[in-house]
Amino acid sequence: MTIIKIQVKKYRKIIKSVIICFCTLLIIYLGLSIYFSNHFYFGTVINGINVSAKTVEQADEEIASSINSYTLELAERGDVKEQIKATDIDLKYDSEGKTQTLKDSQNSFGWILELFKTETSQMDEIVSYNEDLLKEIFNKLSCFDINNVIDPKSATVEYRDTVYEISEEVYGNKVNKDILYDNVVNAIINDEKIVNLEDIDSYEVPMYNKDSQEVIAAKDTLNQYLTSKITYTIGGASEFLDGSTINKWLGVDENFEVIIDEDKVADYVDTLGSKYNTAGRTRDFVTTSKVQTKISGGNYGWIIDRYQEVQDIIASVKDGQVITKEPKYSSTTIAHSTNDIGNTYIEINFTKQHLWFYKDGAIIAEGDVVTGDISKKTATPTGVYVLNSKEKNSTLRGEDYATPVGFWMPFNQGIGLHDAIWRDKFGKEIYKTNGSHGCINAPYELAKVVYENIKVGTPVVCYYE
C-alpha cells in the first residue's frame, strides 16, 4: 500500500511539472505572439535591410535611413564607374503603407514556424525623386561627354598591297541615352545599387562585324574584281589595266554592297582618250600646192566612246575577265597612222577659196567656192572634219533665212558643203565681205559631182595657206 502511494505521488509530481512547463511555454508562446503582432519575425529582411523584431515604424526608419544614403553605381566600359546619389536627386522614402501590409502578412501566431527561417522581401516603388534633378545629373554623366565618346564603327574592307582584307569593327563606348535612362529610373525605384551598362545592352554596337556575312561577301567580291586584267591594243601601242588601278574605283556602301565608281572609271577612259584620241589634234598635211602645213581642230580622228567603254570596263571587272581588246570608238579613221586622212578626202583652201575632191588619190572634182564671211565674223572654222551625212533637196534655216539647196553635205554641226545657185561668182575675195553664214557655197555642178561620188565619213580638210 505504501509503495502504491509513493508511485501515485511521484506521478502527480511529473504531471504537475509537465503542466507547469506547458503553461510556461504557452505563456512564452502567447507572449511572443502578442509581441509579433506589432513586430516583424526574426529573420525578416526588407530590401536588403534586416528588420528582425522591429516595429513597422522602426522598419520604416531603417529603410528611410538606407534610402537617404542610397548611391546608384553605373559600371561602364573601361572600368569606369559613376555614381548618382540620393542627395543629387532629392530621393525620399514613401512606403505608402507597404511596410504595414508586409507586416500584416505575417501571422503573429505563426512566428514559431518561421523561427529559424530568413524571410526576404522586396518592396518596389517606395521612393520619390526630383525628375528634373535626375535628368540634369544624368545628362552630365561623363559617358555622354563628347570628348570621351568613341562611336561604334563597323568592320571595314581595306585594300592592302594586292588584296582586300577585313579590318575588325570598333565597339567604342557610345551609350543609348533612352535605354540607360529607363534602366536608371528602374534601379532607383527598385532600390538597386548597380547598373551595368554592358548587361543592359545600353551601348550602341556596330552594324557589321568581321564575321558578318555581308562583310565577308563584300571582301570576296572585291577580290574577284581585282582578278580582272584588260590589255588594250591601240594602234601599235598597248595599255594594261589590272587590280593596281581597279582597286581605286571600288568601294562598298552602308549595306556592304560593292560599288564601282563610274566617274573614276570615266576618268581612266579620259586618260586613254587624252593619249590616243586624234580628233582635233594637229596634223601634218601636204596641200595640192605641195605645201606642207599643220592643221589643227575639227572632229575627224579616233575618239574612244567614253560611255560605252566605261560600261564595257565595268562589265569586264564584274566578271573578272582577263582579255585583250581595242577600246570602243565613237569615231575612227582609215588607220592608226601618221597619215590617217588617206587618199579620199575634200580639201578646201580658204586662202585660195578653192575646193578639190580626191577619191583614191585622183581628183574627181574641183572648183572655186565661197566660205564664211570674215567681216560678219561667220568665217568657216579650220580643221579636219568628217562628213556627217548627205541629203538632197534640203532647206537650210537660220535666224533670218530659209534657203533651199539641191545638195546638202554637213561636216561641222550646222556647217557643210552645198550648192548656191543664187551666186553667179565664186572664189577670189568674195568671202571677206560677202561670204556665207559659215557653209561652203559651191557652184551647182561642183556640188552635184561631189554629192554623187562622196561617202559619209569622208574627211574634209579646211585650212588657210
Range scoring the smallest mean pLDDT among 5-9, 64-68, 163-167, 431-435: 5-9
pTM of the model: 0.72
Mean pLDDT of 280-289: 94
Range scoring the smallest mean pLDDT among 96-100, 133-137, 150-154: 96-100
CA-to-CA distance for 262 and 270, rounded, in angstroms?
12
Do β-strands 292-295 and 303-304 pair in parallel, antiparallel, or remain unpaired?
Answer: unpaired
Report the percentage of the chain scoring pLDDT > 90.
Answer: 73
pLDDT higher than 90, residue 49:
no
Q: Which residue has cell 552594324? A: 207
pLDDT higher than 60, residue 1:
no
What's the pLDDT at 197? 96
| Residue tagged active-site, from 39, 354, 418, 437 | 418
Check residues 61 and 271 and name the one with the higher pLDDT: 271
pLDDT, one tens digit per residue, over 172-200 is 999 999 999 999 999 998 889 999 999 99
Mean pLDDT of 21-43: 74
Do β-strands 440-442 and 415-419 pair in parallel, antiparallel, or remain unpaired?
Answer: parallel
CB-side exposure of 133: number of CA atoms within 13 Å? 11
Mean pLDDT of 18-47: 75
Mean pLDDT of 256-285: 96
pLDDT higher than 90, residue 152:
yes
Read off the pLDDT band of 61 (50, 70, 90): confident
pLDDT higher than 60, residue 429:
yes
**Whether 439 is catalytic:** yes
pLDDT higher than 90, residue 308:
yes
What's the pLDDT at 48? 79
What's the pLDDT at 123? 79
pLDDT, one tens digit per residue, over 346-366 is 999 999 999 999 999 999 999
| Residue tagged active-site, from 39, 354, 437, 439 | 439
What's the pLDDT at 121? 74
What are the chain's domains?
A: 214-282+297-331 (3.10.20.800), 345-463 (2.40.440.10)
What's the whole-number average pLDDT of the chain? 91
What is the rounded (10 degree) CA torsion for 54, 58, 62, 63?
100
What's the pLDDT at 96? 74
Beta strands in 242-372 (DSSP E): 250-252, 258-260, 283-286, 292-295, 303-304, 322-325, 329-331, 345-349, 354-359, 362-368
**Whether 23 is catalytic:** no
Mean pLDDT of 206-234: 97
Check residues 94 and 340 and name the one with the higher pLDDT: 340
What's the pLDDT at 112? 67
Q: How far apart are the first and last CA of the chain?
A: 173
pLDDT higher than 80, residue 141:
yes
Range scoring the smallest mean pLDDT among 124-133, 141-150, 216-225, 320-329: 124-133
Answer for the pair 400, 423: CB distance below 8 angstroms, yes or no: no
